[in-house]
Structure 1
Amino acid sequence: MGLWRWRRRGPKAARRYPVPLTMHQLWMVSLSAPVSRDRGASRTTLYPFVRIDEEGARRRLAEQWEITSRAQLTGRLDELSRSGYRARAYRLTGVAPLAWDAALYVDIARRGFACGLITESDAWTALKNIVPAVAGTYGSWQEYADHYLLGRRVWRDGLRGRTPDSGSPARQEAADAHLQALLDPANRASPWNMAPWDAISHPDRTL
């Protein structure tokens, strides 16, 4: 059953989008790497899945974000870029973790592209719009990861009383382990090792 359901999602995304990313493009896509923990997720392409899965992208946007239209998607992206969850985090901790909002922003843009709410060009434009703020705030993927976790903890604490932590996708242990894998210098599959933090400050090049 599991194999059948995997195949049903469609062909490999690389067949539809074969052009390799540039270093800057990979860096931008990598901003959502902490969010991309699902089996079948792609952390090195604009398309968020290894295989074409328009319905999966559409369902997640609708269920988690109540996004079913282009207007709702662009409105959510604008909200995340302006204030997002970091406004609440700042009131609680005195720190505004931009990384959490940036990761969600890029994830939503990629899924919007995957289900056809925005074009590929629109998605790249959205990702480019968040770069100045992120690159100007952090000096390494470690700093980015630290603030991502801070933002995630504030978000998770807001779920308490509504969603049992032990049975939800919000388990902190899983997020911690995933981030450690991304930061592990020996992990050749990590996009953060493929696109070092300072790469965005240097001339772009094709991978």
Structure 2
Amino acid sequence: MGLWSSAGRWRRPRAARRYPVPLTAHQLWMVSLSAPVSRDRSASRTTLYPFTRIDDEAARRWLADQWDIASRDALVGRLDELSRSGYRARAYRLTGVSPLAWDAALYVDISRRGFACGLLSEAEAWTALKNIVPAVAGTYGSWREYADHYLLGRKVWRGDLRATQATQGSQGSQGSPDGGFPAPQALADAHLRSLLDPANRSSPWNLAPWDAIRVPDRAR
């Protein structure tokens, strides 16, 4: 079944064929806000569409399973919540720091998946991404600062998840500190290091430097 499923994914058309126009520098910068979340091999980090190959159903399942989003109203409500307070409100109470980057990454990721499954039009998805730009660009001065706050927000989220599991009596896999978690912390750390590595030519953060959003837009 696994091999058949994998083969099915490879038969899907590439997202770049459906959306062939390359992103501008500003568009790539906005999409790149979700790069910390886009870790798996099927993810696209250089298109508005969240996957390298067309898989609208995967986006629909993910929104339903991870966020309980099955309608346009639910998606818009979640985006509004993330833009206003999100996880950073709780993080501030715990740490004295408000990690906007964590909420921004989730906001852009959800917007892209909402576009993929038809809950947002392409124009609406770009509008949603533009709405988060002033807050993010005004808070951080580099992708490294953004990455640091993303990790802080993730640690608060993991702490909440761990507390929930403890309450429910979950021990994780063989007592591992990362057992039962969506992604090990070490994996998230390594992914961010790769994004920040100046030698990584495929990193969207190198393709769209932080200051790109502060200058007039241009074709890439």
TM bin, normalised by shorter chain, reads over 0.9
Measured against aligned partners, the alpha-carbon deviations of 1:5-57 in whole angstroms (never above 9, x if no partner) come to: 23423211111110110000000000000000122100010000000011110
The answer for the alignment partner of 2:105 in structure 1 is: 103
1:182 to 195, 207, 210: 195
Q: Report the Cα offset of residue 185 of structure 1.
A: 0.2
The answer for the alignment partner of 1:5 in structure 2 is: 5
1:192 to 184, 187, 205: 205
1:90 to 89, 92, 101: 92
1:171 aligns with 2:196: no
2:215 to 169, 193, 202: 202
The answer for the alignment partner of 2:44 in structure 1 is: 42
Cα distance in 1 between the residues matched to 2:156 and 2:113: 24
Q: Report the Cα offset of residue 2 of structure 1.
A: 4.8
**5+ residue gaps, structure 1:** none
Q: Which amino acid aligns with 1:6?
A: S
Q: Which amino acid aligns with 2:16?
A: A
SS at match of 2:199: coil
In the TM superposition, 1:57-76 aligns within 5 A as 57-76=59-78
Larger Rg: 2
Cα distance in 2 between the residues matched to 1:170 and 1:84: 20
Cα distance in 1 between the residues matched to 2:123 and 2:3: 33
The answer for the alignment partner of 1:149 in structure 2 is: 151
Q: Report the Cα offset of residue 137 of structure 1.
A: 0.1
Taking structure 1 as the reference length, the TM-score comes to 0.97
Cα distance in 1 between the residues matched to 2:161 and 2:180: 12
Cα distance in 2 between the residues matched to 1:71 and 1:84: 17
Q: Which amino acid aligns with 2:14?
A: K
SS at match of 2:179: helix
Identity rate, percent: 78
1:130 aligns with 2:143: no
Moved over 3 A (4+): 1-4
SS at match of 1:14: helix
The answer for the alignment partner of 2:175 in structure 1 is: none
Q: Give the total of aligned pairs.
A: 207
Measured against aligned partners, the alpha-carbon deviations of 1:60-110 in whole angstroms (never above 9, x if no partner) come to: 100000000000000000000000000000000000000000000000000
Contact 1:156 1:170 in 2 (8 A): no
**5+ residue gaps, structure 2:** 173-177
The answer for the alignment partner of 1:120 in structure 2 is: 122
SS at match of 2:134: helix
SS at match of 1:166: coil
Taking structure 2 as the reference length, the TM-score comes to 0.91
